[in-house]
Structure 1
Amino acid sequence: MNKIKLILADDHQIILDGLSEVLKKHDDLELLGQFHNGKEVYSFIKNNEVDVAILDINMPEMDGISCAKILKREYPNIKIIMLTMYAQKSFIDEIIKIGIEGCLLKNNSGKELYDAILRVHSGKFYYDKIKDFTNSQEEIASYKLGEREIEIIKLLSEGLATNEIAERLFLSNHTVSTHRKNILKKTGVNNTTQLIQFAHENHLI
């Protein structure tokens, strides 16, 4: 029996240990390695055959989204399952656009993760929990600002620079810059000063 070759990536060791224990219970799975960021994942995949990559959305040095984009471009046969704490429809829209095959909230059970692995490995998608990813109260309906975007606005209002925000949120500088551009576009303002004023006026901070 050919085992499904997996890798796990999360910046919290306790989560890696827990997921590893769950996956080791299944004889048809082979866990090749644990990693703490997207750079480590990419380096490993360049020299090893991997069937399914399970990535956390928020990781230092290279986050899950940035890593997934590279893998989809250079290793399209690798299936990807994204793990997240954020139940936002806007997030689902983004990862579907990238072509990521699966997504699970971190509070799902080990059985659901196993089912997701089998499903994406067979060439299907696993978004059975998509009903949980509805627009939440954190998303401002009139401007469609997501929770992550509001978080970045708050940090900008504290005077943090892009690299400081990236470090605080365990994101890449590029990801923070992209979020900032999207925020400015959604709110219709031209710079950080106007954005902070907008945020105060709309009770976002």
Structure 2
Amino acid sequence: MNTIKVLLADDHTIVMEGLQVVLSAEEEFEVVGTVLNGEQVIQFVGKHPVDVVVLDINMPVMDGISCARRLKKDYPELKIIILTMYAQRSFVDEILKIGIDGCLLKNNTGKELTTAIFRVMNGSQYYDRLKNFNSSEEEVKQYKLSKRELDVIKLVAEGKTSQQIADELFISELTVQTHRRNMMRKLDLKNSMQVVQFVQDNELI
């Protein structure tokens, strides 16, 4: 029997190792590779046979949605399952439009991932947890971003420096930098530009 060849993409090593353990326990699956970002996914798929790509939505260099868009354009038969840490209702329309085959919350992975892979390989979609995804208003509360933090990141998105933001909001430059660090910590992102991309993608500003 031919095994289902799975490529895992996640920049969190502990998550990747956990997924490998789960899938390796099933004789029907073969984890053919593990990569850390979307660009590495594109390179790997171009060189190796893959049936299913399991993508984290937030990765450096190229995020999961951008990567999925490229894959579906170049390899329309390839199955794609998106993993996300947050129940972001606002990106669901986008991933459905791209044609992504399934979406799982990271806290539901494990046995559910094997179920999702079997289903998408049979030509169906896996969006069983969609009802658990939050509305846009609930998302803001879920991320625990304050109004002031959103004010700061909106000005960052406009290309303003920390000193310019401080002057406009009548706060200190140190306070601006603190807000930026807090947002990176809350969203588990590595720099302010990733925060800007995140809040824009999810229509939080």
Would the alpha carbon gap of residues 159 and 96 (structure 1) be closer, same or farther in structure 2, given more than 3 Å must change?
Answer: closer
Counterpart position of 2:125 = 125
1:83-162 mapped onto 2 (5 Å cutoff):
83-135=83-135, 137-139=137-139, 153-156=150-153, 159=156, 161=159
Amino acid paired to 1:82: I
Q: Which residue of 1 aligns with 2:80?
A: 80
User: In structure 2, what is the Cα distance between the partners aligned to 1:45 and 1:115?
Assistant: 23
Q: Offset of 1:156 from its aligned partner?
A: 2.1
**Aligned partner of 2:16: which letter?**
L
Aligned residues: 177
Give ranges in structure 1 of 5+ residues lacking alignment: 141-145, 188-205
CA displacement at 1:91 relative to structure 2 = 1.7
Higher relative CO (Cα under 8 Å, sequence separation at least 6) belongs to: 1
Asked if the contact 1:9–1:56 (Cα under 8 Å) also holds between the matched residues in 2, the reply is yes
Q: Is the 1:84–1:105 Cα contact (8 Å) retained in structure 2?
A: yes
- Identity among equivalent pairs (%): 49
Greater share of helix residues, 1 or 2? Answer: 2
- Who is 1:46 aligned against? 46
Mark the CA change 1:118 to 1:182 in structure 2 (over 3 Å): closer, same or farther: closer
Instruction: Name the counterpart of 1:202.
Output: none
2:108 is paired with a residue of what secondary structure?
coil
Residue 203 of structure 1 corresponds to none
| Kept in 2: contact 1:37–1:61 (CA 8 A) | yes
Letter in 2 for 1:105: L
Change (3 A) 1:155 1:4: farther
Runs (5+) with no aligned partner, structure 2: 161-179
Give secondary structure in 2 for the equivalent of 1:8: strand
Asked whether 1:58 is paired with 2:55, we answer no
Across the aligned residues of Structure 1 and Structure 2, the Cα RMSD in angstroms comes to 3.4
Alignment TM-score, normalising by the size of structure 1: 0.73
User: For residue 78 of structure 2, what is the amino acid of its counterpart?
Assistant: I
Q: Letter of the aligned partner of 2:24 in structure 1? A: K
How far has the Cα of 1:175 moved from its partner? 9.9
